[in-house]
């Protein structure tokens, strides 16, 4: 079966304790970068084997080499600087991630995370899946205010450069053998929240037009992707140490989001914050929606019967053959991880596989 798979996952996994210890040693100067990478290699081998053992077909490296799901990639692009600025806040947390600011012309001129992918691909005979933040993430949190007007007096020039940089990145991963790439873009779900939309206006942007801007950036980036490469997108309302940023259903962004020229959409649906399934009625017939019905924010295991009931409810708007199942987000979008144990994480992923087998069988 072509990805996304009936049982799939967003990508990030909790960092094993041994890796966390190695990272702390590295920060203290007790081990060097080579020793840290060896610890990462060992941890990734372990989680690849565990993913395979529970029956997942899409295999990731758990983003174990990253501190943050998006910043580690974006900071290596030309023209991007990380800053501690304002912006949307995660609920009930003092610590907040940094924000990408644009201080030069955006480009992809170095092999960002390609060796990470090659290592993963060499570990599995299944489909090696790699994730990266979407081009819209270069804009989202800081908005126009965080994009240098001296470098980009015309915002359209920024979007052209961002899409061109991502087109180069996509080609580089394809050349490295990547056939399953996921763009992570929280922008669409953030724009469902009126408080966040107000912050966009403060940043000098029109939240009514941003969904189309983000889609155009994606479509320009993927336009020349090679045959045989599946590209999906994940969106959620924030995932940092079991916290979140926004709330609101997809109705206001669904039509724009589903016009992205990609193969599938991983969508958060684990809580009332995500609204109803009704916006799925806009899903094109040749696309798949991956229902994120299993939360990664809490360790309590979902009821199989409730998941089955919710899949059935989604079929009021989308045929079953256009649906898949996954957790609502990664388990560790940052190195901190969410508030659950590794065993709770693996039980949730195993449940996704078991329910998908019950619903779709081998289809």
Residue 242: per-residue pLDDT:
73
Paired tokens of 66: 């990253």
- Ranking 28-37, 187-196, 252-261 by mean pLDDT, the lowest is 187-196
Residue 90: per-residue pLDDT:
55
Q: Determine how β-strand 127-133 pairs with β-strand 180-184.
A: parallel
**Cα–Cα nearest to 301, from 340, 335, 274, 272:** 340
- Ranking 145-149, 190-194, 237-241, 254-258 by mean pLDDT, the lowest is 237-241
| Through-space distance between the first and last CA atoms of the chain, rounded to whole angstroms | 8
Q: Note whether 349 and 54 are within 8 A (CB).
A: yes
The pLDDT mean for the chain works out to: 94
∠ CA 155-160-203 to the nearest 5 degrees? 30
∠ CA 257-117-125 to the nearest 5 degrees? 100
Q: Note whether 324 and 291 are within 8 A (CB).
A: yes
CA distance 98 to 96: 7
Q: Which residues pair with 18 in a beta bridge?
A: none
Q: Is the pLDDT of residue 93 over 90?
A: no
Summarised one tens digit per residue, pLDDT across range 296-311 is: 999 999 999 999 999 9
Domain boundaries, the chain: 17-360
Q: Note whether 344 and 299 are within 8 A (CB).
A: yes
Q: For residue 244, what pLDDT band results from cuts at 50, 70 and 90?
A: low
The average pLDDT across 210-224 equals 97
Q: For residue 218, what pLDDT band results from cuts at 50, 70 and 90?
A: very high
- Residue 68, C-beta contacts closer than 8 angstroms, at least 6 positions apart: 97, 333, 334, 335
Q: Is the pLDDT of residue 92 over 60?
A: no
Residue 141: per-residue pLDDT:
87
Q: Is the pLDDT of residue 179 over 60?
A: yes
Q: Is the pLDDT of residue 266 over 90?
A: yes
The average pLDDT across 211-229 equals 96
Summarised one tens digit per residue, pLDDT across range 325-345 is: 999 999 998 888 888 999 999
Residue 286: per-residue pLDDT:
94
Paired tokens of 317: 């708007």
Report DSSP state, residue 240. B
pTM for the whole thing?
Answer: 0.93
The fold of the 17-360 domain, in CATH, is TIM Barrel (3.20.20)
Residue 237: per-residue pLDDT:
87
φ, ψ of residue 72 in degrees (nearest 5):
-60, -35
Residue 107: per-residue pLDDT:
98
Secondary element (H or E) of residue 353? helix 342-360
Q: Note whether 313 and 305 are within 8 A (CB).
A: no
Paired tokens of 229: 């490469």
Peptide bond preceding 77 in cis form (omega within 30 of 0): no
């Amino acid at each position: 079966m072509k990805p996304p798979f009936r049982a799939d996952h967003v990508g990030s996994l909790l960092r094993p304790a041994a890796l966390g210890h190695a990272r702390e040693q590295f920060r203290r100067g007790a081990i060097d970068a080579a020793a840290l990478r060896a610890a990462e290699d060992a941890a990734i081998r372990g989680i690849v084997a565990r993913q395979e053992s529970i029956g997942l077909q899409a295999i990731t490296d758990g983003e174990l080499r990253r501190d943050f799901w998006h910043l580690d990639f974006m900071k290596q692009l030309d023209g991007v600087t990380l800053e501690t600025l304002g912006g949307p806040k995660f609920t009930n947390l003092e610590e907040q991630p940094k924000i990408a600011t644009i201080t030069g012309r955006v480009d992809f001129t170095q092999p960002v995370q390609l060796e990470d992918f090659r290592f993963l691909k060499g570990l599995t005979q299944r489909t090696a899946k790699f994730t990266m933040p979407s081009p819209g993430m270069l804009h989202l949190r800081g908005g126009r205010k965080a994009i240098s007007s001296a470098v980009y007096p015309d915002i359209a020039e920024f979007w052209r450069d961002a899409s061109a940089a991502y087109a180069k990145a996509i080609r580089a991963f394809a050349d490295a053998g990547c056939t399953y790439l996921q763009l992570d873009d929280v922008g669409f779900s953030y724009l469902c929240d009126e408080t966040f939309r107000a912050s966009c206006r403060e940043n000098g942007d029109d939240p009514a037009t941003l969904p189309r801007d983000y889609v155009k950036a994606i479509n320009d980036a993927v336009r020349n992707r090679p045959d045989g490469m599946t590209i999906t997108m994940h969106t959620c309302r924030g995932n940092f140490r079991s916290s979140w940023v926004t709330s609101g259903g997809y109705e206001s962004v669904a039509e724009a989001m589903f016009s992205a020229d990609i193969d599938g959409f991983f969508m958060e649906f684990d809580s009332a914050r995500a609204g109803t399934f009704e916006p799925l009625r806009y899903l094109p017939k040749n696309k798949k929606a991956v229902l994120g019905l299993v939360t990664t924010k809490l360790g309590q295991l979902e009821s199989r019967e409730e998941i089955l009931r919710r899949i059935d409810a989604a079929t009021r708007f989308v045929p079953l053959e256009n649906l898949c199942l996954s957790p609502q987000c990664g388990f560790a979008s940052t190195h901190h991880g969410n508030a659950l144990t590794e065993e709770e994480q693996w039980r949730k992923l195993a449940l996704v596989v078991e329910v998908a087998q019950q619903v779709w069988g081998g289809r």
